[in-house]
Structure 1
């Protein structure tokens, strides 16, 4: 703890010719508050370090990621990170030393116990992850977990994560309608969303990040 030295007495603080006589009374008034902050800072830091993680996150000595009391249903390794779907419907991304983000799936208690993690986590390329659930398909940016787009299932229909397949750079997902056993639809999505004619492209890059090679003419060295 750092303590500032202050003179105990002063014959005449405001006497002419003594520099600093006007500010010493103010310093004495502020000193107790400053000392209180110095004493409280280590206590607050210790409380912050010992508080439990909000999702029970912890890493073992071998850099294995786990959540207290939760079981992983599916793990998808992508770009040096691991995206995990847990039995409580939470999706997490970690880089081996820290958790990047958490996302909770809607109404997971209604379908997750029977569905499990089969086909739920699907990479779409260009740093985008698709999470296929019966009520909707949602796409998240792997870098920060930002929701980029969502496609809800048609009324009376559900998506089937286990029956999704990749074809020509797209993810094709079946959408059967239980009310009419003979009715089934297929939709195709990619990193920009549902594939439809004349769609508006999305900017999925992290804001502020510049392209690796903005000027392709400067990528190659000049011939010698």
Structure 2
């Protein structure tokens, strides 16, 4: 009986090895990240584009590919570039930020061209927006306008979805503020405008009440309202250079 038990235990251990290995690999790439490095960045300007199912960086002068970032089971639908950042919106409702600085680690990962340690160095953060995947399903053109910069340097990124506007700090993906649509209303990412540091977003409502209800005005600190005292958006330990915590004059 003891020998039988030992034999069964040994067989179970052997069979479990592939599962353990697969589980470890899944933990290393929880979002299905696949990051492939082709060449070290040159002295020229690095450009970023969507090419097929990946976000790709390339030398704008020579066209040489530098790296490609993809995610298993999804594909990028929209891309917004900012200094040092490439924000991407994916079909499964995920938003990612990829580091585009040329002095970021350039080597290949431990497992070859698609090394997970390279991906961890280059992909800063992932954020899922509730309901966005369902709204985008079968309508990839809706992705246009979803990603919006909230300041000139894109230190804050807004993700505009019908039910909410989510604002993330670019440096670390921290959710800084959230604006939900009012009952009977929905934000329209396709109808936005920037003016004097303010993002205007169409918010049509079923009851067609006052015109002001059909329009939302936001900036890096949140919805613009009279006498607001917003939180700041700086990283821990930074000063309040963005004006957070100070009273804001009514919009003119």
The offset of 1:210, in angstroms, is: 5.8
| CA root-mean-square deviation | 2.8
The reply to whether residue 161 of structure 1 matches residue 185 of structure 2 is: no
The equivalent residue for 1:170 is: 198
The equivalent residue for 1:120 is: 146
Distance 2:209 2:226 in 1: 29
The reply to whether residue 102 of structure 1 matches residue 114 of structure 2 is: no
- Find 1:51's aligned residue among 17, 22, 25: 25
* 2:232/2:240 contact within 8 Å kept: no
3-state SS, counterpart of residue 228 of structure 2:
coil
> What is the count of residue pairs matched by the alignment?
168
TM-score (norm 2): 0.60
The equivalent residue for 1:64 is: 68
Computing the radius of gyration from Cα coordinates, the structure with the larger value is 1
Alignment of 1:185-196 (within 5 A): 185-196=214-225
The reply to whether residue 73 of structure 1 matches residue 84 of structure 2 is: no
The offset of 1:107, in angstroms, is: 1.2
The offset of 1:50, in angstroms, is: 6.3
Cα gap change, 1:180 to 1:103, in 2 (>3 Å): same
The offset of 1:48, in angstroms, is: 9.9
The equivalent residue for 1:143 is: 171
TM-score (norm 1): 0.67
Cα gap change, 1:182 to 1:109, in 2 (>3 Å): farther
The equivalent residue for 1:85 is: 89
Deviations 1:89-144 (A, max 9, x none): 00011114521111111112431123531100000116110110000111000011
Structure 2 stretches lacking a partner, 5+ long: 1-20, 39-66, 101-120, 242-252
The offset of 1:209, in angstroms, is: 3.5
Q: Which one is further off, 48-57 or 138-147?
A: 48-57
3-state SS, counterpart of residue 164 of structure 1:
strand
* 2:91/2:133 contact within 8 Å kept: no
The offset of 1:84, in angstroms, is: 0.5
3-state SS, counterpart of residue 134 of structure 2:
helix
3-state SS, counterpart of residue 88 of structure 2:
strand
Deviations 1:10-61 (A, max 9, x none): xxxxxxxxxxxxxxxxxxxxxxxxxxxxxxxxxxxxx699613111112112
Q: Which one is further off, 75-84 or 154-163?
A: 75-84
3-state SS, counterpart of residue 148 of structure 2:
strand
Where does structure 1 differ by over 3 angstroms across 4 or more consecutive aligned residues? 47-50, 178-184, 209-212
Bigger relative contact order (CA 8 A; separation at least 6): 2
